[in-house]
Amino acid sequence: MSVDLHRWQRDESRPSGREAVRDAAARVLGPSLVLFATIVSTGWLIMGPFGGLEDEAAVNRELQEGRSRTALWDTTTDIWSRLGNTEIIIGTCAVISLIILWRTRQWWYAAIPAIAISIQATIFVIAAWIVGRERPDVEKLDPAPPTSSYPSGHVGAATALFLTFAFMAQRIERIWLRRLVTVVCILVPILVSYARLYRGMHHLTDVLLGVLNGVVCALLAWHWLRRRRD
């Protein structure tokens, strides 16, 4: 799926309720089922034929037993990890979406971040319950959530939310500010991904599939409504 960063500016027409429901079903819900099946199938392969990919634990052990863990990095990665916490994701989404709504008066545009994290969260919760992968067998620096390790919900949520923000940032007229906001939005999921590995909360494939979940959900949300020149 190509990313048309200006599709919402070329066509700012208000959709009817019927159009919104129709497009959301066809362009988000339908494709998200394919994404869900892909993530669950990959999880079953990891836990079944691939025997849990036990060699992956070497990544977590290296971060734990090597020189990577220090008091400074423990504190720093704690901050990075919190960027993917549910309350931070929902709160940031609500605040930014309200600001966008206030500035544009376009609810169908302001809803994009909420669509992205809602679909991501739904896929993550159900897939985690079905696959049921245990977290890495290393010292963990965070309390373990009730969900299983696969896929990473923190990484998926941060990727879905901040990637949509990066798309939206292309409307910023000042070049230096647009570039700065875009870089920060892309950097956040990377920091969250590293933090979750460093803190012993996920296997590498948990993080990678979390990224996949977030990226695809952001793309689906960005294209959720048909625009005339698509």
The pTM (predicted TM-score) of the whole model is 0.93
List pLDDT tens digits, range 104-126.
Answer: 999 999 999 999 999 999 999 99
Cα→Cα distances 68→5, 59, 61, 175, 215, Å = 38, 12, 10, 36, 28
Q: Are 167 and 221 in contact (CB under 8 A)?
A: no
With bands split at pLDDT 50, 70 and 90, how would you rate the model's confidence at 1? Answer: low
Mean predicted confidence (pLDDT) in 77-101: 95
Question: Which pLDDT band holds residue 68 (cuts at 50, 70, 90)?
Answer: low
Min mean pLDDT across 77-81, 146-150, 195-199 is at 146-150
Which is more confidently placed, 94 or 1? 94
pLDDT band at 66 (very low <50, low <70, confident <90, very high): low
Closest-CA residue to 53 (of 133, 140, 148): 133
Q: How many CA atoms lie within 13 A of 153 on its CB side?
A: 25
pLDDT at 105: 95
Mean pLDDT of 167-186: 96
Contact 87, 161 (CB under 8 A): no
**Model pLDDT for residues 189-225, shown as the tens digit of each residue:** 999 999 999 998 999 999 999 999 999 999 999 999 9
Average of per-residue pLDDT across 125-153: 88
pLDDT, tens digit (0-9, with 9 covering 90-100), for 150-168: 999 999 999 999 999 999 9
For the chain, the distance separating the N- and C-terminal CA atoms, rounded to the nearest angstrom, is 12
pLDDT of residue 72: 87
CA 48, CA 57: separation in Å to the nearest integer? Answer: 17
